[in-house]
Amino acid sequence: MRMGEQTGNHKRIRRVLLAARLVRHWLTAEPQEQVASAPGADKPLKFSYGGQAVMEGVMMRGAYNMAVAVRDPKGQIVIHEQPINAALYRGRISKIPFIRGLTMLWDSLGLGTRALMWSADIALGEEEDVSFNGPLGIGTLVVALAFGIGLFFLLPAAVSNLIENLLGMGPGTEFLANLMEGVIRLVLIIGYIWLIGRMEDIARVFRYHGAEHKTINAYEAGAPLTTDEVARFPLEHPRCGTGFLLVVAVISVLVFSVLGRPPFIWLLLSRVLLIPVIAGIAYEYIKFTAARMDRPWVRVMVAPSLALQRLTTNQPDASILEVAIVALQRVLESERAHLPGAVAPTPAEPEEAAAPAR
């Protein structure tokens, strides 16, 4: 085999392996929708924000802008910023219950995916001919979406239907069958997260996830955004999107129980068609509890979500914390620029921060 052919095959294998990594990253990504009231430069600054760990970095989103900070192979922090959809996050649709959840979750999926694609490109370093912003990126997203729906919705329905037939469960046992399906779904979610968390690249993403939580916890507490200060804060956060998966598993039991247990084909079809309904209800539940964390009964309700976060967050070191801090600071600058009397900055092109990895 000629040298050129070997090089071409190596690059194709490299693309496939990186795409596989990206699928795992995408499936561990989480919806982000959080509201904070924290100190600004001159007066309290209240804005909607979210965060997500990406490959070697963190994405933060505000009400006006999103910023992604990624550590490149040379140890520099590379930053990308872009505006977000004003109608979804600040318009009338953001005030309509259930509908706002679907639109914001869909948009956050798009933002998170673009952030993942961009971070993957940065992580490639000098291999500039490999890009996840074209057909490879679209194909990766389609595979990840199909895999997620198949594993977490269709497989539990099929397995529970099989058990239902084997046990001869008849009329009057519909809720029990749907409960069994929900338990299977929850076991698959927890098992999947635990399993991929053993992989080195995903374990590292979970460190960035922990850094994202620590940074937001520090900001909400009014602490200085330095690595030493941020490191003192907990890994768990009450509005973490990991809890969204748990809420979906519980709500799916209730929603599917309304339909009973239709014939097998309709059973599978209903699991796909009702995903938006379940997601909209889950979004409102998380928004409701997030606004009432000062009440003891709400803290009891979110305790399982906090416990689940132990599977998706790892302790970050100072260099990882630094990346999360840079991403949040860029978002804060954008939010403050939109305060009355301020001048909004133009979204920056990708740039390198001065700080190398320590």
**Percent of residues, the chain, with pLDDT higher than 90:** 31
Torsion of CA 46, 50, 54, 57, to 10 degrees: 10
Give 201-251 pLDDT, tens digit per residue: 888 889 999 999 999 889 888 899 999 999 999 998 877 878 888 888 899
Give residue 187's pLDDT: 93
Band (343; pLDDT cuts 50, 70, 90): very low
The answer to whether position 5 is within a domain reads no
Task: State the average pLDDT over residues 92-100.
Answer: 77
- Reference 248, options 268, 275, 288; nearest CA is 275
Instruction: Reduce the DSSP state of residue 59 to 3 states and report it.
Output: strand
The answer to the question of residue 182 being in a domain is yes
- Please give the Cα distance from 77 to 55 (Å, whole number): 12
Domain count, the chain: 1
What does pLDDT average to over the chain? 78
Q: How far apart (Å, rounded) are the C-alpha atoms in residues 54 and 66?
A: 13
Average pLDDT over residues 33-52: 53
4, part of any domain? no
Instruction: Note whether residue 90 is domain-resident.
Output: yes
Domain that holds residue 178: 11-356
Query: Mean pLDDT across the stretch 335-345?
Result: 59
- The pLDDT, as a whole number, for residue 36 is 47
Lowest model confidence (mean pLDDT) among 75-79, 237-241, 341-345: 341-345
Quickly state the pLDDT bin for 327 (edges 50, 70, 90).
very high
In which band, very low, low, confident or very high, does the pLDDT at 2 lie, cut at 50, 70 and 90? low
69-78, 234-243, 293-302 — which is least confidently predicted?
234-243
- Return the pLDDT at 44: 36
Task: At 171, give phi and psi (nearest 5°).
Answer: -55, 140
Banded model confidence at residue 333, pLDDT cuts 50, 70, 90: confident
Dump pLDDT digits (tens) for 79-89.
Answer: 988 887 766 66
Question: What is the distance of C-alpha 6 from the center of its chain?
Answer: 37
The answer on pLDDT for 45 being more than 70 is: no
pTM of this structure: 0.81
Burial class (CB in 10 A: 0-12, 13-18, 19+), 290: middle
- Given a cut of 60, whether residue 3 has pLDDT beyond it is no
Reply yes or no on whether the pLDDT at 14 is more than 90: no
Residue 1 falls inside a structural domain? no
Instruction: Read off the pLDDT of residues 154-191 as tens digits, 9 standing for 90 and up.
Output: 999 999 999 999 998 888 899 999 999 999 999 998 99
pLDDT of residue 176: 93
pLDDT tens per residue, range 275-294? 989 988 988 888 888 778 88
Q: Is residue 349 included in any domain, yes or no?
A: yes
Task: Assess if residue 3 is contained within a domain.
Answer: no
Extract long-range pairs of 131-136: CB within 8 Å, 24+ residues apart.
132/18, 132/19, 132/22, 136/15, 136/19
Residue at 303 is within a domain: yes
